[in-house]
């Protein structure tokens, strides 16, 4: 009982540390009617808006290496959640944090300080307020729930893709997987390539401005967390359509283009952790979308089209195969490969 009390007091003080760190930030966000300190936070509904809610968990050894700097871990833990708000066209508002920490003694305070710095630096940029949380002892595990606002009926959903739509992606694909492979000695990178690629893996930037700009333009959208092949199939399944994708059109960094084509495909099509947006939009929106690029400062690339399911597609008895995209090279020749999505359990 004494040991339990000691642990509870320790963790109470640790959450107080995060709370204190939060309250010292430069701007109070005033998102919650009642924030940390009661049994629940109270959030008022914004008139004319719906509340978007999403949860993501990061587990040591599964989603990140044990030696990853805590400042980048704090950033990424919130970034992957904000990315889900971006994918829905929602504006960040508040978040909760549940944290399991191993008992590593006095170094834990330094770890928490760096983690909090990464977390709240990103939260500040999006005026996203910490409104509650919990801590416990255990293997390092970070679970964040985010709350965002989206005008009624304007959320970007996965089930709205229509035959004839263009398929677009933001940014470049595959750099996070390229960095992960280099860190796991799957393939080499030059010493000057690694910092930028490691940044892509550890410090993803949620595409909030893009998601908001896509309201009323995109028919369907999601963020690429598990790789293009797997994530695009979610849109196809929810929208009951298929897709034709030009692999040569996939946006790739100069570093990735230096790799053999098989690695380029593996990283850009199967690799996870990109946190770019993939969305569909009618071809009549092409000029509008291209005009967005300088405004939001993120490249947008058209990579394929949405189509109705063919009789051949419908012949698939497996739902997984039914909603797989069809992949082609730029000459229109089909690429007969089965891409799989990035699986954190498989890819350990
Ligand atoms: Mg997502």
Alpha-carbon 252 to chain mean position: 18
Please tell me whether residues 51 and 197 are part of one structural domain. Answer: no
If you average pLDDT over residues 259-286, what whole number do you get?
95
Confirm whether 333 is domain-assigned: no
Same domain (yes/no): 224, 122: no
Q: What is residue 322's predicted lDDT score, i.e. its pLDDT?
A: 78
Tell me whether residue 92 is in a domain. yes
- Centre of ligand 1 from the C-alpha of residue 142, in Å: 17
Looking at the structure, do residues 171 and 141 belong to the same domain, yes or no? no
Confidence grade of residue 104 (pLDDT, cut at 50, 70, 90): low
Ligand 1 centroid to Cα of residue 89, in Å, is 12
pLDDT for res 180: 92
The answer, yes or no, to whether residue 201 has pLDDT greater than 70, is yes
Does residue 208 fall inside a structural domain?
yes
Residues 86, 185, single domain; the answer is no
pLDDT at position 3 is: 39
Q: What is the 332 CA–ligand 1 centroid distance (Å)?
A: 30
The pLDDT assigned to 101 comes to 84
**Shared domain check, 194 and 322:** yes
How do residues 71-93 score in pLDDT, each as one tens digit? 999 999 999 999 999 999 999 99
Q: What is the pLDDT of residue 1?
A: 33
pLDDT above 70: residue 139: yes
Which is more confidently placed, 150 or 46? 150
Q: What is the pLDDT of residue 19?
A: 63
Q: How far is the CA of 86 from the centre of ligand 1 (A)?
A: 9
CATH of the domain at 59: 3.30.1330.10
Q: Between 34 and 223, whose confidence is greater? A: 223
State the sign of the Cα–Cα–Cα–Cα dihedral 244, 248, 253, 258.
positive
Would you say residue 161 lies in a domain? no
| Residue whose pair of structure tokens reads 């497996």 in the numeric block | 318
35 Cα: distance to centroid of ligand 1 (angstroms): 26
* pLDDT at residue number 302: 98
Determine the distance separating the centroid of ligand 1 and the alpha carbon of 225, expressed in angstroms. Answer: 6
Number of separate domains in the chain: 2
pLDDT at residue number 346? 44
pLDDT tier at 348 (50, 70, 90 boundaries)? very low
Q: Which tops the pLDDT comparison, 220 or 321?
A: 220
Residues 25 and 92 grouped into a single domain? yes
Ligand 1 centroid vs 124 CA: distance in angstroms? 22
Tell whether the model's pLDDT for residue 198 goes beyond 70. yes
Centroid of ligand 1 to alpha carbon of 157 (angstroms): 11
pLDDT band at 242 (very low <50, low <70, confident <90, very high): very high
- The bridge status of strand 166-170 relative to strand 300-307 is antiparallel
Other Cβ atoms closer than 10 A to 298: 17
Q: Are both 176 and 119 inside the same structural domain?
A: no
pLDDT in tens, 10-33: 444 555 655 666 665 545 556 777
68 CA → ligand 1 middle, Å: 23
| Cα–ligand 1 centroid distance for 207 (angstroms) | 12
On whether both 146 and 215 belong to a single domain, the answer is no
Find the CATH number of the domain harbouring 296.
3.90.650.10
| Cα 247 to ligand 1 centroid, rounded to whole Å | 22
- In 3D, which of 170, 161, 159 has the Cα closest to residue 213? 170
Residue scoring higher pLDDT (165 or 4): 165
Q: How confident is the model at residue 34 (pLDDT cuts 50, 70, 90)?
A: confident
List the alpha helices (DSSP H) in the chain: 2-23, 70-87, 107-125, 175-183, 194-202, 208-213, 228-239, 254-257, 261-265, 286-296, 311-314, 319-322
Q: Are 130 and 218 part of one and the same domain?
A: no
Residue 65 has pLDDT above 50, yes or no: yes
81 CA → ligand 1 middle, Å: 8
**pLDDT over 60 (residue 45):** yes
| 3-state SS assignment for residue 245 | strand
- Examine residue 347 and state whether it is found in any structural domain, yes or no: no
Please state, in angstroms and rounded to a whole number, the distance separating the CA atoms of residues 266 and 226.
12
Confidence band (pLDDT; 50, 70, 90) for 42?
confident
Band of the pLDDT at 40, cuts 50, 70, 90?
confident
Q: Is 340 inside a domain boundary?
A: no
Residue 131 belongs to domain spanning:
2-151
Query: Do 87 and 57 have their domain in common?
Result: yes
**Ligand 1 center to residue 223 CA distance, Å?**
5
CA of 104 to the centre of ligand 1 (A): 32
In a domain, 335, yes or no: no
Establish if 344 belongs to a structural domain: no
Write out pLDDT tens, residues 295-307.
999 999 999 999 9
């Amino acid at each position: 009982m004494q040991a339990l009390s000691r642990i509870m007091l320790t963790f109470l003080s640790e959450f107080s540390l995060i709370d204190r760190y939060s309250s010292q930030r430069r701007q109070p966000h005033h998102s919650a009617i009642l924030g940390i300190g009661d049994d629940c936070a109270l959030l008022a509904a914004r008139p004319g808006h719906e509340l978007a809610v999403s949860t993501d968990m990061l587990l040591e050894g599964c989603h990140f290496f044990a030696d990853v700097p805590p400042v980048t871990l704090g950033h990424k833990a919130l970034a992957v959640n904000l990315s889900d708000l971006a994918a829905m066209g929602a504006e960040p508002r508040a978040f909760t944090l549940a944290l399991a920490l191993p008992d590593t003694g006095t170094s834990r305070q330094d770890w928490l300080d760096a983690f909090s710095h990464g977390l709240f630096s990103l939260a500040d940029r999006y005026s996203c307020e910490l409104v509650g949380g919990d801590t416990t002892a255990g293997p390092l595990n970070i679970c964040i729930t985010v709350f965002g606002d989206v005008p009624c009926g304007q959320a970007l959903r996965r089930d709205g893709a229509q035959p004839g739509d263009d398929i677009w992606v933001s940014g470049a694909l595959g750099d996070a997987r390229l960095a992960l492979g280099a860190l796991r000695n799957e393939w080499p990178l030059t010493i000057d390539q690694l910092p930028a690629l490691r940044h892509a893996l550890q410090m993803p930037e949620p595409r909030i401005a893009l998601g908001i700009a896509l309201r009323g333009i995109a028919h369907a959208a999601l963020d690429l967390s598990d790789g293009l092949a797997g994530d695009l199939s979610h849109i196809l399944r929810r929208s009951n359509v298929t897709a034709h994708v030009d692999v040569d059109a996939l946006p790739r960094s100069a570093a990735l283009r230096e790799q053999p084509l098989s690695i380029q495909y593996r990283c850009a099509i199967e690799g996870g952790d990109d946190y770019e947006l993939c969305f569909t939009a009618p071809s009549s929106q092409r000029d509008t979308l291209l005009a967005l690029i300088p405004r939001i400062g993120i490249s947008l690339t058209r990579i394929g089209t949405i189509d109705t399911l063919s009789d051949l597609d419908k012949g698939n008895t497996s739902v997984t195969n039914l909603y797989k995209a069809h992949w082609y090279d730029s000459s229109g020749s089909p690429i007969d490969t089965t891409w799989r999505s990035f699986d954190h359990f498989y890819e350990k």
